[in-house]
Structure 1
Amino acid sequence: MAETVSIVTNSEQALAPTPNDDALPRRFADFETFGEALDYAATGLRGFNFHDPRGRLARVYPFRELREDALAVAYALVARGVKPGDRIALIAETGPDFAALFCGTVYAGAWPVPLPLPTSFGGKDNYIEQLSVQLSSSDPALLIGPDEIAEMTASAAARQGCSHATWADFAARDTAPCDLPQLSPDDICYLQYSSGSTRFPHGVAVTHRQLLANLSAHSHGMELEAQDRCISWLPWYHDMGLVGCFLSLIANQVSGDYLKTEDFARRPLAWLDMITRNEGNSISYSPTFGYDICARRISTQTAVSERFDLSRWRLAGNGADMIRPDVMQSFVNAFADAGFKASAFLPSYGLAEATLAVTIMPPGEGIRVELVEEERLSGSPRDLSRPARYRAIVNCGKPVKDMEVAILGENGKPLTDHHIGKVWCRGTSVMHSYFRDPEATAECLIDGWLDTGDMGYMADGYLFIVGRAKDMIIINGKNHWPQDIEWAVEQLPGFNHGDIAAFSVEMENGEEAPAVLVHCRVSDPAKRIELHEQIRDKVRAITGMHCVVELVPPKSLPRTSSGKLSRAKAKKLYLSGEIEPFKLAA
């Protein structure tokens, strides 16, 4: 594999990024296999561009060079005895090493399995345990990871009994070319683990045909243009980062700029600096919290228009979690002077089991919301003694090319517009199966239809998502969405998006009650008691009942590898005593 190019200094010649456009006729993922897609992209000038923590260009990696490195990886894997169908677990660090290893594994006919990097939450032992569980599920022949975390990855591999290697092992190899397997569209291309995969992980098996169908749907739904360029900080072990911002760029021949996820977390505005420097049209996706962080970070600065130019940000995608219209409006307010337009927002809905995209908002329509009574959302009877409460539900767009969406009621029958039920989808890009789990596959795949596990409704061909079915809090026969409770508490002063986790717990009398864990940044004992009472009153106003309120240390609420709040893990850690609430003075 090629050596990493050093970051240039002012005295050195500046690196030239790969272009937005070139003479190669663009093909929109109309290939038989992903290997063919990379072969074609390598004949043009476009490619990947990796940036340092401050958003400065550090490494240019044309698709031509990626293909050369990927073939070298494929030859090295074959020399190691890797066979078609073997799984190769790869720690998905954003950079040329992982890109070449992923594509090389595909060329070798094996199945790459992207796995997460360590997070700040949980520590070394928890990370090794997480890897061990996912390795046990995917049963790989080999685990390859960055040299910097070799001790942890080697420990996880040893637990599973699979071979272990580092980036350096492959970078140093000079293996003679050999015959590579002939791939077909219905071969498995890769395994994708959801960001919340911990105790019972499900590896989503995706074929070349399914992948390319979804990648073609991306270009169709986003109405891809010649000067479009992708700018991303999303992790490559999550489906939106892997499929939407890595594989799609190859199959649709789009240049991309990358900031590592951990660098975005430290300097989120570097993301916007990169968008500013793009002279073409920018396409960039983020969950809601990414926009929230930027809007909060810029709030104390006034010269927004001097630093940023976001006027060419054509598509500002929203996905991966519930879209908060109030947060998105705050982003518009913060960056309007820099030329950002609300019409650039592109809400979408997808999941790994559908490869990625299920619905995309038509470009230019922006965020559209409907106000829906909470009782309708939860299916509970209307309480006439209380004033009606409403939640803004975001329009997530129309089904992508070759995808059908249906809303089914509890009896399994289709529901008409504006009736809330389970969201099902069917199309070419719906997954092949959960790897080696026929029971789980049979539970969610029925006659070609995928049960997404989400609740929502259709209106005039558009999909509205209201929440995850499994997150519903049911107490005394009444349904409550945790988002409603969390969002209500966030309205109190001093709270940020993601500071609250709501779920149900069983009390000593055997009854269920809502529990709310809240990040507390107040140190004064009297102020903590006052805050506790405010939160309790707020939740009681929403649910009509007493609840358990616990103030917990900042950053103690767990997140998935894609940055989303994990309510299930928060509940588990709370009940096990691993999240220890502050004790309130008597």
Structure 2
Amino acid sequence: MSRAGAPSPWPVFTRPHPRRETSKMSELVLHGNLALNARKYRDKEALVFGDTRISHQELYARVNGLANGFLEAGLRQGDHCALLLANSVEFLESMLALSRIGVTFVCLNTLLTPREMAYIINHSDARALVAEAEFGEKISSVLDELPRLDRSLLFSVSGNIDGFRPLDGIRSTNTAEPAVRVNEDTWMRLAYTSGTTGLPKGAIIPHRSQVLMFYQFGVQYGLSDRERMLIAGPLYAIGPFVWGLMALYFGGTLVILRKFDAQKVLQAITDERITSSFMVPTMYNMVLAIPEEERRAKYDVSSLCILSSGSAPRHTRTRELMFNYFSSARINDSYGSTEGGLNTNLSHEDQLRKITTVGQPVVGCEIKIVGDDGRELGPNEVGEIWVRGLSLATGYYKNEAATAKAFIDDWFATGDLGSMDEEHFLTLVDRKNDLIISGGVNVYPTDVEQALYRHSAVLEAAVVGVPDQKWGEAVKAVVALKPGAQAGEDELLDWCRKELAGYKVPKSVDIVTDLPKNAAGKILRRVVREQYWAGRETKLI
């Protein structure tokens, strides 16, 4: 980690002069390896989705045909296109085709309400929309509120939506590469944050940042063209998107599930001889909640070589269970964000030695811990995590104030609290806005959640501050139990008293069937908290 003012050790990539031509091979673009992979791997499987199997050569032709179809329909370089799609072949092909013609895509979380979708479509200035028929009623209900959408550029997938043209109907028979030049500084995607701290913000992700992230992961994890990558999470979320497109970029095979199902994940690993996968901790918890005897009798996971997790810390018990069950795999954790890109990796070797951390900075990334006074803090001091590196976003779309607040010089202020030890291992403490101040004492929700996760009956936990006449905020735990497990409030409170300092012990525990999550599978403490603050004039956050 470099101190402020010290020369940066990370590589400097000189951007080409705008009037100077560069060769195609020098450009870092999402679709950059499609042609190479088509020539090099030809009939090798690129994509597996249900009964559909598409080779690299076929994928190249299909993407070009769709890209030319978009152009013939009226889309132009520099336009923005919203995608309201569940995991499918069309989702992947649409992203690659739009990338190929310099159209910035905006992936919509399919779980959003129609009004939330309308906000993002309008804010992003999307001119076109590709929507799945499954979500037709939802999007049609707000179509009149979307004045920027060109009504001739509405396309449907897997069925009809009134006023939309079938996407397959515009696919061109011309499968040659479109005559559009896209460079590495072109905006690939507007990635809207999950809105954990207010209205979603559209992070601007250029091609260069995305592809350099692929290489960061490739170097860190040893990924190659031999990968058979399983993606079970939604492709509109950053983690599944990055890992899925990365497998295709490097010439591997991508196997995608329509949606997450723990049994289907294990079946896919068994049938497709999966070598690598990315899942969020909640998904691993659900897989491991299947009785071990059943898992070992029905499924073969010995083909796995690499397993990764992100979006939220994995808890100690989950790590131990993963090491035991996925014994053939190297297990890694990463820390990063939509805006900050890839920041750290906790290697397989350090999983248990540094179990409370999220690892060390990856190649091409620097991290520093900053105090409230803007001063860089020393080892083991808690402050805000700032990052800079190869895969940063370039700001927020149409939000200069938020950009100026978060993107400072060439650093990104993450809004996460953490500390770094003498070996540069990063420990996450919490989100700044999730801090609970109870009786003037700081309580970090993650500390309490970690203790709850060590209880054998707990599947998920969220800890929030709730209004309290005496303490200002009281610590409240909201817990979902594993299927078939039993535990009451008193038992869980007794457990916490054994595991935690007295001031951290929740004043109460609510037991629920499920906890709200965002597209990445991260539990939304904000949503949990809101039900307890409803009707209050002020909120201590």
- TM-score band by shorter chain is 0.7 to 0.9
The amino acid that maps onto 2:168 is A
Partner-residue secondary structure (3-state), 2:376? coil
Q: Which residue of 2 aligns with 1:273?
A: 267
Partner-residue secondary structure (3-state), 1:313? coil
For each residue in 1:359-405, what CA deviation from the matched residue of structure 2 results, as whole angstroms up to 9, or x when unmatched?
Answer: 2234x4251344xxxxxxxxxxxxxxxxxxxxx513x2332232212
Deviation at residue 517 of structure 1 after TM alignment? 2.9
Task: Note if 1:242 corresponds to 2:205.
Answer: no
Deviation at residue 36 of structure 1 after TM alignment? 2.5
For 1:157 and 1:41, locate their aligned partners in 2 and report how far apart those are by CA, in whole Å.
39
Task: Note if 1:486 corresponds to 2:470.
Answer: no
Q: Which residue of 2 aligns with 1:151?
A: 137
For 2:85 and 2:425, locate their aligned partners in 1 and report how far apart those are by CA, in whole Å.
34
- TM-score normalised per structure 2: 0.82
Name stretches of at least 5 consecutive residues in structure 2 with no aligned partner: 1-24, 159-165, 536-541
Q: Quick check: 2:383–2:419 contact (8 Å CA) kept in 1?
A: yes
Q: Which residue of 2 aligns with 1:503?
A: 464
Partner-residue secondary structure (3-state), 2:334? strand
Deviation at residue 537 of structure 1 after TM alignment? 5.4
Deviation at residue 346 of structure 1 after TM alignment? 0.9
Partner-residue secondary structure (3-state), 2:106? strand
Matched ranges for 1:112-191 at <5 A: 112-118=105-111, 127-161=113-147, 162=149, 163=151, 164-167=154-157, 169-175=166-172, 180-191=179-190
Q: Cα–Cα, structure 1 residues 137 and 231, in superposed 2: closer, same or farther, change >3 Å?
A: same
The amino acid that maps onto 2:344 is T
Deviation at residue 332 of structure 1 after TM alignment? 3.1
Q: Cα–Cα, structure 1 residues 543 and 239, in superposed 2: closer, same or farther, change >3 Å?
A: farther
Task: Note if 1:438 corresponds to 2:400.
Answer: yes
Q: Cα–Cα, structure 1 residues 270 and 519, in superposed 2: closer, same or farther, change >3 Å?
A: closer
For 2:432 and 2:134, locate their aligned partners in 1 and report how far apart those are by CA, in whole Å.
39
Deviation at residue 101 of structure 1 after TM alignment? 1.1
Q: Quick check: 2:289–2:482 contact (8 Å CA) kept in 1?
A: no
Q: Quick check: 2:84–2:131 contact (8 Å CA) kept in 1?
A: yes
Task: Note if 1:359 corresponds to 2:344.
Answer: yes
Q: Cα–Cα, structure 1 residues 505 and 232, in superposed 2: closer, same or farther, change >3 Å?
A: same
For each residue in 1:66-109, what CA deviation from the matched residue of structure 2 results, as whole angstroms up to 9, or x when unmatched?
Answer: 33222232233223332222210102421111111111111222
Q: Which residue of 2 aligns with 1:37?
A: 33
Q: Which residue of 1 aligns with 2:513?
A: 554
Q: Quick check: 2:387–2:414 contact (8 Å CA) kept in 1?
A: yes
Task: Note if 1:563 corresponds to 2:524.
Answer: no
Deviation at residue 223 of structure 1 after TM alignment? 1.7
Q: Quick check: 1:344–1:366 contact (8 Å CA) kept in 2?
A: no
For 1:48 and 1:130, locate their aligned partners in 2 and report how far apart those are by CA, in whole Å.
34
Aligned residues between the structures: 492
For 1:79 and 1:237, locate their aligned partners in 2 and report how far apart those are by CA, in whole Å.
26
For each residue in 1:121-147, what CA deviation from the matched residue of structure 2 results, as whole angstroms up to 9, or x when unmatched?
Answer: xxxxx6212212222321211221112
For 1:399 and 1:521, locate their aligned partners in 2 and report how far apart those are by CA, in whole Å.
34
The amino acid that maps onto 2:137 is E
Q: Quick check: 2:308–2:331 contact (8 Å CA) kept in 1?
A: yes
Q: Quick check: 2:106–2:191 contact (8 Å CA) kept in 1?
A: yes
Q: Which residue of 1 aligns with 2:83?
A: 90
Q: Which residue of 1 aligns with 2:17?
A: none
Q: Cα–Cα, structure 1 residues 47 and 157, in superposed 2: closer, same or farther, change >3 Å?
A: farther
Q: Which residue of 2 aligns with 1:368?
A: 352
Partner-residue secondary structure (3-state), 1:561? coil
Partner-residue secondary structure (3-state), 2:349? coil
Q: Cα–Cα, structure 1 residues 296 and 227, in superposed 2: closer, same or farther, change >3 Å?
A: same
Q: Cα–Cα, structure 1 residues 474 and 543, in superposed 2: closer, same or farther, change >3 Å?
A: farther
For 2:235 and 2:122, locate their aligned partners in 1 and report how far apart those are by CA, in whole Å.
21
**469, 481, 486: which is aligned to 2:432?**
469
Q: Cα–Cα, structure 1 residues 93 and 186, in superposed 2: closer, same or farther, change >3 Å?
A: same
Partner-residue secondary structure (3-state), 2:184? coil
Deviation at residue 358 of structure 1 after TM alignment? 1.4
**236, 252, 255: which is aligned to 1:254?**
252
Which deviates more, 440-449 or 270-279? 270-279
Partner-residue secondary structure (3-state), 2:377? coil
Q: Cα–Cα, structure 1 residues 408 and 30, in superposed 2: closer, same or farther, change >3 Å?
A: farther
For 1:416 and 1:537, locate their aligned partners in 2 and report how far apart those are by CA, in whole Å.
36
For each residue in 1:237-267, what CA deviation from the matched residue of structure 2 results, as whole angstroms up to 9, or x when unmatched?
Answer: 111111122x212322221211222xx33xx
Q: Quick check: 1:454–1:469 contact (8 Å CA) kept in 2?
A: yes
For 2:58 and 2:269, locate their aligned partners in 1 and report how far apart those are by CA, in whole Å.
24
The percentage of counterpart residues that share the same residue type is 21
Matched ranges for 1:515-534 at <5 A: 515-519=476-480, 531-534=488-491
For 2:508 and 2:417, locate their aligned partners in 1 and report how far apart those are by CA, in whole Å.
27
For each residue in 1:312-354, what CA deviation from the matched residue of structure 2 results, as whole angstroms up to 9, or x when unmatched?
Answer: 3211112111121211212333x26xxx24x711121111113
Which deviates more, 310-319 or 461-470? 461-470
Which deviates more, 230-239 or 292-301? 292-301
For 1:545 and 1:106, locate their aligned partners in 2 and report how far apart those are by CA, in whole Å.
49
Say what the alpha-carbon RMSD is for the aligned residues: 3.0
Task: Note if 1:68 corresponds to 2:61.
Answer: yes
Task: Note if 1:290 corresponds to 2:290.
Answer: no
Q: Quick check: 1:42–1:63 contact (8 Å CA) kept in 2?
A: yes
Q: Cα–Cα, structure 1 residues 417 and 572, in superposed 2: closer, same or farther, change >3 Å?
A: same
For 1:155 and 1:435, locate their aligned partners in 2 and report how far apart those are by CA, in whole Å.
26
Deviation at residue 442 of structure 1 after TM alignment? 1.0
Q: Which residue of 1 aligns with 2:530?
A: 572
Which deviates more, 155-164 or 233-242? 155-164
Q: Cα–Cα, structure 1 residues 520 and 215, in superposed 2: closer, same or farther, change >3 Å?
A: closer
Matched ranges for 1:385-464 at <5 A: 393-394=356-357, 396-459=358-421, 460-464=423-427
Partner-residue secondary structure (3-state), 2:170? coil
Which deviates more, 422-431 or 60-69? 60-69
- TM-score normalised per structure 1: 0.76
Q: Quick check: 2:27–2:183 contact (8 Å CA) kept in 1?
A: no
For 1:230 and 1:513, locate their aligned partners in 2 and report how far apart those are by CA, in whole Å.
44
Deviation at residue 465 of structure 1 after TM alignment? 2.5
Q: Cα–Cα, structure 1 residues 398 and 484, in superposed 2: closer, same or farther, change >3 Å?
A: closer
Q: Cα–Cα, structure 1 residues 62 and 156, in superposed 2: closer, same or farther, change >3 Å?
A: farther
Q: Cα–Cα, structure 1 residues 224 and 331, in superposed 2: closer, same or farther, change >3 Å?
A: closer
For 2:316 and 2:453, locate their aligned partners in 1 and report how far apart those are by CA, in whole Å.
14
For 1:136 and 1:561, locate their aligned partners in 2 and report how far apart those are by CA, in whole Å.
20
For each residue in 1:480-531, what CA deviation from the matched residue of structure 2 results, as whole angstroms up to 9, or x when unmatched?
Answer: 11122233344556332x2x32211233579222233344899xxxx99xx3
For 1:545 and 1:283, locate their aligned partners in 2 and report how far apart those are by CA, in whole Å.
38
Partner-residue secondary structure (3-state), 2:275? strand
Deviation at residue 538 of structure 1 after TM alignment? 5.4
Q: Quick check: 1:143–1:157 contact (8 Å CA) kept in 2?
A: no
Q: Cα–Cα, structure 1 residues 521 and 465, in superposed 2: closer, same or farther, change >3 Å?
A: closer
